[in-house]
């Protein structure tokens, strides 16, 4: 597992929001703290702060494509300045006793797919593993992820560190297929787990047995949704916690017939009491629901 990515600027200013993201629980291990930033000295200082909470590793995000990150010289923006990326990575490695890993993309755009060079140089300055998302920054999350260059990095005789693939893994079949076809050491799953935390156990079971694990029933979906909601309120506060949960309801109840009207009510609900009442209504209809 990884924390939500944390701004180096927020960490060194003791920003409450950033420091909150450093809370680690034993059941989450092994866990990495993922940081991002544009200033090398600040990234070094943030690494020391993050290391003090004793995660299992430090991860650098050189992959985030969103405007307010990349256009400030952080995230995927570093793919336009490989010397700075390498220097920053070396500084982070020297600032911690923990293993350092990196998450990045194929390149900035189709004309600059430089991931093979990036992989070699980051390995040379001491990273312990590399995760590659099979798109460029210019692609954002559009189109289909291209894993062919990820395979080339893995096949490079100079590369000794584990290489993990990322992008479009949304089913156990695709996870196994991509691992075998592209020879990666492992798979990272991000967006497909939103509202569907069961994907990890389903992928593991399928890789181990070749058989599908039964999906969660309605009782488990509702229980997990409730737990997620309460944790969201605890950590984010009522207003933000309820707002951020709205993106998860569709996936928590995906595939359940006649759920549309209830899902719409959940998205519109403005307080815990309303949401709880709607979830109770869904729970009462358990016997009428048959999963697709």
Mean confidence (pLDDT) of the chain: 93
Of 195-204, 211-220, 282-291, least confident by mean pLDDT is 282-291
Closest residue by Cα to residue 54 from 25, 82, 74:
25
Residues 96, 54: Cα–Cα separation, whole Å:
10
Residue-by-residue DSSP string for 21-82: TT---GGG-S-EEEEE-S-HHHHHHHHHHHHTT--SEEEEEE----HHHHTTT-GGGGGG-H
Residues 77, 85: Cα–Cα separation, whole Å:
9
Inter-CA distances, 200 with 260, 263, 276, 281, 285, Å: 26, 24, 27, 29, 28
Task: For residue 257, give every residue at least 6 positions away whose Cβ sits within 8 Å of its Cβ, in sequence order, or none.
Answer: 289, 290, 292
pLDDT score of 292 more than 50: no
- DSSP label at residue 97: S
Q: How many CB atoms lie within 10 A of CB 84?
A: 14
Q: Which domains does the chain have, with CATH numbers?
A: 6-168 (3.20.20.70), 218-288 (1.10.1200.80)
Known catalytic residues are 64
Contact assessment for residue 178 and residue 169, using Cβ atoms and an 8 Å cutoff: yes
Percent of the chain with pLDDT over 90: 83
> Looking at residues 77-103, what average pLDDT do you find?
98
- 112-127: b or e for each residue (b if 16 or more CB lie within 10 Å)? ebbbbebbebbbebeb
> Looking at residues 137-142, what average pLDDT do you find?
96
pLDDT at position 255 = 80
- Please, what's the largest Cα pairwise distance for the chain? 60
Q: What is the C-alpha end-to-end distance of the chain, expressed in Å?
A: 29
Closest residue by Cα to residue 35 from 82, 67, 78:
78
pLDDT at position 246 = 92
Task: For residue 90, give every residue at least 6 positions away whose Cβ sits within 8 Å of its Cβ, in sequence order, or none.
Answer: 125, 126
pLDDT score of 193 more than 80: yes
Of 37-51, 171-185, 241-255, least confident by mean pLDDT is 241-255
Closest residue by Cα to residue 130 from 156, 158, 153:
153
The whole-model pTM stands at 0.91
pLDDT at position 70 = 93
């Amino acid at each position: 597992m990884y924390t939500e990515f944390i701004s180096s600027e927020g960490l060194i200013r003791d920003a409450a929001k950033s420091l909150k993201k450093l809370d680690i629980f034993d059941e989450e291990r092994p866990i990495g703290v993922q940081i991002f930033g544009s200033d090398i000295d600040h990234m070094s200082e943030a690494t020391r702060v993050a290391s003090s909470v004793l995660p299992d590793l430090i991860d650098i995000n050189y992959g985030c494509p969103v405007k307010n990150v990349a256009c400030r010289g952080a995230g995927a923006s570093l793919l336009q300045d490989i010397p700075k990326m390498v220097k920053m990575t070396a500084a982070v490695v020297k600032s911690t006793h923990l293993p350092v890993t990196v998450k990045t993309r194929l390149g900035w755009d189709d004309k600059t797919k430089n991931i093979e060079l990036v992989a070699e140089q980051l390995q040379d300055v001491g990273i312990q593993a590399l995760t590659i998302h099979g798109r460029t920054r210019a692609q954002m999350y559009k189109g289909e992820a291209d894993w062919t260059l990820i395979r080339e990095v893995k096949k490079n005789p100079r590369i000794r560190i584990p290489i993990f693939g990322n992008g479009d893994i949304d089913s156990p079949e695709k996870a196994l297929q991509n691992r075998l076809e592209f020879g990666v050491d492992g798979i990272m799953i991000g967006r497909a787990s939103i509202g569907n935390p069961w994907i990890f156990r389903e992928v593991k079971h399928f890789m181990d047995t070749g058989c599908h694990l039964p999906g969660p029933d309605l009782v488990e979906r509702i229980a997990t949704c409730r737990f997620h909601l309460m944790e969201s309120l605890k950590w984010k506060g009522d207003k933000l916690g309820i707002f951020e949960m709205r993106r998860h309801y569709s996936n928590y109840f995906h595939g359940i017939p006649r759920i549309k009207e209830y899902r719409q009510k959940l998205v519109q609900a403005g307080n815990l009491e309303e949401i709880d009442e709607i979830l109770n209504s869904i729970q009462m209809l358990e016997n009428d629901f048959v999963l697709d």
